[in-house]
A and B are shown apart, each in its own frame.
Chain A
Amino acid sequence: MQTLLVDLVYLAVLTLLAVPLGHYMHRVYEGELPRGARVLRPVEHWLCRAGGPGTLKPQGWQAYALAMLAFNAAGFVLLYAILRLQAVLPMNPGQIAPLSPALAFNTAISFVTNTNWQAYSGEAQLSPFSQMMGLTVQNFLSAGTGMAVAVAVVRGLTGPKSQTIGNFWVDLIRSVLYILLPMSVVFAVFLAWQGIPQTFGPAVTATTLEGARQAIPVGPVAGQIAIKMLGTNGGGYYGVNAAHPFENPTIMADMVQTLSILLIPAAFCVTFGKMARDMRQGRAIFIAMLVMFVAGLAVIQWQEAAGNPLLHLAGANMEGKEQRFGPALSGLWAAATTVASNGSVNAMHDSFMPLSGLVMLVNMEVGEVIFGGVGAGLYGILLYVVLAVFLAGLMVGRTPEYLGRKIERREVTLAVIAFLAMALGILVAGAVVATLPAGQAAVSNPGPHGLSQILYAYSSFTGNNGSAFAGFNAADPLQAILGGVIMMLGRFAMILPLLALAGSMARKVPASATAGSFPTHGPLFVTLLVGTVILLGALTFFPALALGPVAEQVGLVAGQSY
């Protein structure tokens, strides 16, 4: 009952906040700033001038993609350098050694691609400088990249016939300056008020129950947490992420943080509707996402509340959960963080029930499109929309079209490429790891649970989620390098085809809708879209899942645990 109430309040507040934020974001991207945000305009102008004349002209998709790639490559090089040089860089009170090359590679890719997989333990292996100037900066920029790409894709789908899809630098600057920065500042202040440290002071020491003295490092935590949540980054200050009391001190902080995971992704649906000049289009996508989110959430809440049948204990499954949060808040966080490619955790996902693990895997494997990452969720679901419209659109007797633009050979090819990348990252990389002895050594449990750990890790890499089944050792060089490569694949093998798709759609003349055009709003389309996501996801990943969480579940029912 209490769980239901928590979930309902959560969804209601999410929807209520997403609508005005979506409208605000639309105005930002259209360049019609609301009064309050205009104070930042000189900053935008100064930043825009920095690139020199000509850099701000509308770009074709190739130029847009090139700018995005160059920017991300530069971000990678800079972050890699910071992580390798942190010992000689300032602000290193703990005398922390540099990260190993493999780990630095993995971490740099991880933060540039908005994955924020933590193969390292933040407080132990990173200096405050690395956290602040390296990770936090990338938290903003990778989120901004995803948002910019989403806006460009939507522009290609909804704008007038054009050779261009916007300007990457303008979209990026606006995303960061007017959306991510102000929201993070407000959010950080709130979190600091709730008790999250924001300091450059030394570690605090505490005496544990066993009487041992424990030094707990602190730092500029609140600021990093704010953007970690809002930008669906997920890489925490501490290794155990939001299960750490300094990262998630109160129930209030927990609820608001969970909310902040899905806030911008949900608002993007509204922005999309505004840009399409047809709110019904955005609403249909929002509802489709909501339906899938609620379905998964329901399974998790049910499974966690029911507990483990083998323990013969009445009560919920509490293994790996914070006593403070219990199954309801842990389950809600787990659902939100896996759908949204956030990847932060307030409980250990490894210890969830097998079916909850299955839901979390599916949430990621469908490509992080149920709300998804900031921007990434929207352009990801648009990939499914293109496929759904193409598959079923023929059934109305016309060449399939979305928002008045025909889906033809080029668009289908691009969608298939993006879709193949997902299967490649999860299935092929996962299978290779499961076959290699070095890969098998990385799992903490044999049998189906170990396979779940591998699948979870590679689903997380491919979906740029960043959360993990805790038993998986991702720090060994093989996992660090392969994982890094797969994170890049999951990010850019999705973005590039989608930008190309947007460029190709932009060049078409949009036709106005008639009674003969395929309706892409309303319950029928929502059903179709949800069906396509589930069906394509299920068809691709069901066999692998059958040997992982499903086998684990049937074993559990039969009285066997792994």
Chain B
Amino acid sequence: MFTKLNPRELSKNPVIFITAVVSVLTTVLAVIHLVTGEPGGVFGLEVSLWLWLAVLSATFAEALAEGYGKARADSLRSAKAETPVRLLASASAAPDSAQIVPSSSLRAGQYVHVAAGDLIPTDAEVVEGVASIDESAITGESAPVIRESGGDRSSVTGGTRVVSDWLVLRVTAEPGGSFLDRMIALVEGAERQKTPNEIALNILLAGLSLIFVLVVVTLRMFAGYSGATLSVISLGALFVTLIPTTIGGLLSAIGIAGMSRLIKANVIAKSGRAVEAAGDVDTLLLDKTGTITFGNRMADALIPAPGVLPQDLSAAAWLASQADDTPEGKSIVTLVEAQSRSHPELPAGATAVPFTAQTRLSGLDLPDGTRIRKGAVDAVRRLTGGDLPAALQTRVDDIARSGGTPLLVASDTRVLGAIHLKDVVKPGVRDRFAELRAMGIRTVMITGDNPLTAAAIAAEAGVDDFLAEATPEMKLDLIRKEQSGGRLVAMCGDGSNDAPALAQADVGVAMNSGTTAAKEAANLIDLDSDPTKLIEIVMVGKQLLISRGALTTFSIANDVAKYFAILPAILVAAYPGLASLNVMRLASPESAILSAVIFNALVIVALIPLALKGVAYRPSSAADLLRRNLTIYGAGGLVVPFIGIKAIDLALVALHLA
């Protein structure tokens, strides 16, 4: 915190830098007054003390905000141990021909061999082998994940550990450039650069400070014309209380705290710009699977064929799914057990018939020779021959039309009925989308399903639009089309074929489980690989911007009260009648000036928790948000300092300090 008092550090923040300069000036003047015995020395020191406190509060806020990131960086650094690795001459070289080298010497393009128990030395691509990897050091998720060559699960991250089997890796990161290195730098704030909006705000604050330089300097000249000499210390106090020290002091803390909130949510932002952009997002592209629906289709209903008892159908469906380990199969078992509470015993001697690509059926052969089968409609019909009963056919068509998948269950050649498999929309997403709509964000569902299915799910989930039978090119086109209308687009993805769209999107979130290409293209990485995070990221972005705006408004509105405290105090020397501007009835000119500078310093301290936590944000329309925040921070900013300054003045008088 005190290292931040270094002038070079301070100069990054124009408002606080000017405050420090004025503090030095008033301190020096106060000391000169004390030495020469001129009056006002003690008062000058008191004022200077509080001016310094404002500077310290600002640096303290920043140090506090950085605390969380630093702690997280330390834990990450422990995963980045120096280990010996087995370097292979080529991808196909035998493991025992490996040369042992330190992990820090690895270069991109080299091949290494890792086996169970080894730490993955750096970011790499699997070229051979399958292994389970413990990624908890990075994601905090303890369940191991499978990594294998080819496809979208071929990238491994430095710092993770091989739990079983072995892999041959091709190193993709140069020393110091691995994902882990970048993450450490990012969470530590070493690479923190001011974001575009933060820069713009800083310019405005610097401009306002410059205007107040003119105001205060010319005030001394105007007072001179009016026959009064204003002391530099009083003018310094007026100046510091006028410039937006509150927001100036807390601005960088707000930014760092916003990044920390993301880190806590296990999201790594590769740039602050992306976090800001997240607040601006107009269109969210959401993958259907995993975000809107559970990953798999689930059994939703059983429809008996005419003349079949429901319990016969459930029993057959239950039996046919016993050997089916797919999520669909399990969901049929679950459905039957939930519906009937009782289920048939699995007869001893029954043989499971697994799904094959040829029959496209699965089921069970009972000891009595009965063959229970389930499968897609055409596969079962091929087995049973002939048309379905008209009533069942209608129901099957209805299921298909509603976006579901019908399965048929047959016992030998008799069709018992249908199972309605459907994409189950996650509970709560509908409300979430309604919230997003209220915030003015359009949601577009991306799915590989046919338009019919997509439309049904879109309607059920309450998204605004959908892109069916989506290909990576279509995604990219959609993003470009939205952007050409001036809208900002956010999306998440994990596959290599998502990379172009992730790069094109204003906010691209890559799943940590995804490919290196996707992670390179994205500007945010979700370590939990949870696509619904996108919505949280948008909220964090909005909260960041709101916190900045609220404190800026508050800071500027505060100035009115400060004028009414300090101006009458210093201008009565010119015209005693101006004492009538002392609407707060502050005890004396000295106590008025002191109260204002004390309030100015204390308000920074008081607002640190708000800056770190962020202004409370409830999703609602911009008009509602504006009304609410303008009332709290605008009107509040006008009123609060009148009360605060008066209270401090009363306290000063009570304590005989002024």
Q: Taking beta carbons and an 8 Å cutoff, which residues of A are in contact with B?
A: 387, 390-399, 404, 406-409, 411-413, 415-417, 419-420, 423-424, 427-428, 430-432, 434-435, 440, 447-448, 450-451, 508-512, 514-519, 522, 524, 527-528, 531, 535, 538-540, 542-544, 546-547, 550-551, 554-555, 557-558, 560
A417 to B549, CA, bound (A): 21
Least CB distance, A408 to chain B, in whole angstroms: 6
* B486 & A510 in contact (Cβ 8 Å cutoff): yes
Known contacts A434-B221, A554-B580; A515/B439 CB under 8 A: yes
* B280 & A399 in contact (Cβ 8 Å cutoff): yes
Known contacts A395-B553, A420-B210, A540-B215; A518/B545 CB under 8 A: no
* B622 & A555 in contact (Cβ 8 Å cutoff): no
Task: Write out the residue numbers on chain B whose beta carbons fall within 8 Å of the beta carbon of A451.
Answer: 222, 225-226
A522 to B630, CA, bound (A): 14
Indicate which residue in A392, A412, A440, A551 contacts B634 across the interface (CB closer than 8 Å): A392
* B623 & A447 in contact (Cβ 8 Å cutoff): no
* B622 & A547 in contact (Cβ 8 Å cutoff): no
Indicate which residue in A399, A404, A509 contacts B484 across the interface (CB closer than 8 Å): A509
Least CB distance, A510 to chain B, in whole angstroms: 5
Q: Does B89 have its Cβ within 8 Å of any Cβ on chain A? A: no
A8 to B210, CA, bound (A): 41
Q: Whose C-beta in chain A lies nearest to the C-beta of B195?
A: A399
Task: Write out the residue numbers on chain A whose beta carbons fall within 8 Å of the beta carbon of B630.
Answer: 392, 395, 524, 527-528
* A544 & B578 in contact (Cβ 8 Å cutoff): no
A450 to B574, CA, bound (A): 14
* B575 & A551 in contact (Cβ 8 Å cutoff): yes
Mostly, the B contact residues are: helix
Task: Write out the residue numbers on chain B whose beta carbons fall within 8 Å of the beta carbon of A430.
Answer: 218, 222
Choose among A394, A430, A531 the residue with the greatest number of B CB atoms under 10 Å from its CB.
Answer: A394
With A406-B280, A416-B203, A434-B221 given, name 5 new contacts (CB 8 A): A395-B626, A409-B199, A524-B627, A551-B226, A555-B575
Q: Does B305 have its Cβ within 8 Å of any Cβ on chain A? A: no
Task: Write out the residue numbers on chain A whose beta carbons fall within 8 Å of the beta carbon of B442.
Answer: 514
Task: Write out the residue numbers on chain A whose beta carbons fall within 8 Å of the beta carbon of B282.
Answer: 511, 514, 516
* B567 & A517 in contact (Cβ 8 Å cutoff): no
Provide 17 A-B residue pairs closer than 8 Å at the C-beta atoms, listed in order of the A residue: A448-B575, A451-B222, A509-B483, A514-B441, A515-B438, A515-B439, A517-B622, A524-B630, A535-B560, A538-B560, A539-B559, A539-B560, A542-B567, A543-B216, A546-B567, A547-B226, A557-B577
Task: Write out the residue numbers on chain A whose beta carbons fall within 8 Å of the beta carbon of B216.
Answer: 543
Least CB distance, A505 to chain B, in whole angstroms: 12
Task: Write out the residue numbers on chain A whose beta carbons fall within 8 Å of the beta carbon of B226.
Answer: 447-448, 451, 547, 551
A407 to B545, CA, bound (A): 14
Task: Write out the residue numbers on chain A whose beta carbons fall within 8 Å of the beta carbon of B224.
Answer: 434-435
Q: Whose C-beta in chain B lies nearest to the C-beta of A429?
A: B218
Task: Write out the residue numbers on chain A whose beta carbons fall within 8 Å of the beta carbon of B553.
Answer: 391-392, 395
* A399 & B279 in contact (Cβ 8 Å cutoff): yes
* A390 & B200 in contact (Cβ 8 Å cutoff): yes
Q: What mask results when residues 613 to 652 of chain B are scored 1 for a CB within 8 Å of chain A, else 0? A: 0000100011101110110011000000000000000000
* A396 & B622 in contact (Cβ 8 Å cutoff): yes
Range of interface residues on B (Cβ < 8 Å): 35 or more
A519 to B630, CA, bound (A): 13
* B563 & A539 in contact (Cβ 8 Å cutoff): yes
Choose among A397, A508, A516 the residue with the greatest number of B CB atoms under 10 Å from its CB.
Answer: A397
Q: Does B14 have its Cβ within 8 Å of any Cβ on chain A? A: no
A535 to B441, CA, bound (A): 33
* A412 & B560 in contact (Cβ 8 Å cutoff): no
Known contacts A510-B486, A539-B559; A546/B571 CB under 8 A: yes
Known contacts A396-B622, A516-B439; A431/B577 CB under 8 A: no
Q: Taking beta carbons and an 8 Å cutoff, which residues of B are in contact with A?
A: 196-197, 199-201, 203-204, 206-208, 210-212, 214-219, 221-226, 242, 276, 279-280, 282, 437-442, 483-487, 541-543, 545-546, 548-550, 552-553, 556-557, 559-560, 563, 567, 571, 574-575, 577-578, 580-581, 617, 621-623, 625-627, 629-630, 633-634
Indicate which residue in B203, B217, B617 contacts A412 across the interface (CB closer than 8 Å): B203
Task: Write out the residue numbers on chain A whose beta carbons fall within 8 Å of the beta carbon of B437.
Answer: 515
A407 to B280, CA, bound (A): 12
Task: Write out the residue numbers on chain A whose beta carbons fall within 8 Å of the beta carbon of B542.
Answer: 397-398
Task: Write out the residue numbers on chain B whose beta carbons fall within 8 Å of the beta carbon of A428.
Answer: 214, 218
A560 to B221, CA, bound (A): 24
* A508 & B222 in contact (Cβ 8 Å cutoff): no
A527 to B279, CA, bound (A): 25
* B215 & A404 in contact (Cβ 8 Å cutoff): no
Choose among A411, A413, A450 the residue with the greatest number of B CB atoms under 10 Å from its CB.
Answer: A413
Task: Write out the residue numbers on chain B whose beta carbons fall within 8 Å of the beta carbon of A392.
Answer: 549, 553, 626, 629-630, 634
Task: Write out the residue numbers on chain B whose beta carbons fall within 8 Å of the beta carbon of A522.
Answer: 623
Least CB distance, A159 to chain B, in whole angstroms: 13
Least CB distance, A530 to chain B, in whole angstroms: 12
* A544 & B557 in contact (Cβ 8 Å cutoff): no
Q: Whose C-beta in chain A lies nearest to the C-beta of B206?
A: A416
Indicate which residue in B438, B552, B571 contacts A394 across the interface (CB closer than 8 Å): B552
* A558 & B577 in contact (Cβ 8 Å cutoff): yes
A511 to B215, CA, bound (A): 38
* B204 & A542 in contact (Cβ 8 Å cutoff): no
A-B contact count (CB 8 A): 231
Indicate which residue in A394, A406, A423, A427 contacts B549 across the interface (CB closer than 8 Å): A394
Task: Write out the residue numbers on chain A whose beta carbons fall within 8 Å of the beta carbon of B577.
Answer: 551, 554-555, 557-558, 560
* B575 & A393 in contact (Cβ 8 Å cutoff): no
The 9 A-B residue pairs with the shortest CB-CB distance in the complex, in nearest-first order: A516-B440, A394-B549, A397-B542, A511-B486, A416-B207, A514-B440, A554-B577, A431-B221, A431-B218
* B625 & A419 in contact (Cβ 8 Å cutoff): no
Q: Whose C-beta in chain A lies nearest to the C-beta of B547?
A: A394
Task: Write out the residue numbers on chain B whose beta carbons fall within 8 Å of the beta carbon of A397.
Answer: 279, 439, 541-543, 545-546, 617, 622, 625
A114 to B436, CA, bound (A): 50
* A440 & B578 in contact (Cβ 8 Å cutoff): no
A401 to B634, CA, bound (A): 19
A528 to B553, CA, bound (A): 11
Task: Write out the residue numbers on chain B whose beta carbons fall within 8 Å of the beta carbon of A516.
Answer: 282, 439-441, 621-622
Task: Write out the residue numbers on chain A whose beta carbons fall within 8 Å of the beta carbon of B560.
Answer: 535, 538-539
Task: Write out the residue numbers on chain A whose beta carbons fall within 8 Å of the beta carbon of B487.
Answer: 511-512
Task: Write out the residue numbers on chain B whose beta carbons fall within 8 Å of the beta carbon of A557.
Answer: 577, 580
* B197 & A543 in contact (Cβ 8 Å cutoff): no
Task: Write out the residue numbers on chain B whose beta carbons fall within 8 Å of the beta carbon of A408.
Answer: 196-197, 200
* A435 & B563 in contact (Cβ 8 Å cutoff): no
Least CB distance, A154 to chain B, in whole angstroms: 18
Task: Write out the residue numbers on chain A whose beta carbons fall within 8 Å of the beta carbon of B197.
Answer: 394, 399, 408
* A515 & B204 in contact (Cβ 8 Å cutoff): no
A427 to B242, CA, bound (A): 16
A338 to B196, CA, bound (A): 39
Task: Write out the residue numbers on chain A whose beta carbons fall within 8 Å of the beta carbon of B221.
Answer: 431-432, 434-435
Task: Write out the residue numbers on chain A whose beta carbons fall within 8 Å of the beta carbon of B581.
Answer: 546, 550, 554
Known contacts A448-B575, A515-B439, A555-B577; A540/B211 CB under 8 A: yes
Indicate which residue in B201, B204, B486, B574 contacts A547 across the interface (CB closer than 8 Å): B574
A524 to B484, CA, bound (A): 30
* A390 & B622 in contact (Cβ 8 Å cutoff): no
Task: Write out the residue numbers on chain A whose beta carbons fall within 8 Å of the beta carbon of B552.
Answer: 391, 394
* B486 & A517 in contact (Cβ 8 Å cutoff): no
Task: Write out the residue numbers on chain B whose beta carbons fall within 8 Å of the beta carbon of A393.
Answer: 549
A399 to B276, CA, bound (A): 8
A536 to B560, CA, bound (A): 10
* B626 & A423 in contact (Cβ 8 Å cutoff): no
* A427 & B623 in contact (Cβ 8 Å cutoff): no
Least CB distance, B531 to chain A, in whole angstroms: 21
* B276 & A394 in contact (Cβ 8 Å cutoff): no
Known contacts A435-B221, A551-B226; A395/B550 CB under 8 A: yes
A508 to B218, CA, bound (A): 39
Indicate which residue in A391, A412, A515, A535 contacts B622 across the interface (CB closer than 8 Å): A515
Least CB distance, A497 to chain B, in whole angstroms: 12
Least CB distance, A162 to chain B, in whole angstroms: 13
Task: Write out the residue numbers on chain A whose beta carbons fall within 8 Å of the beta carbon of B575.
Answer: 448, 547, 551, 554-555
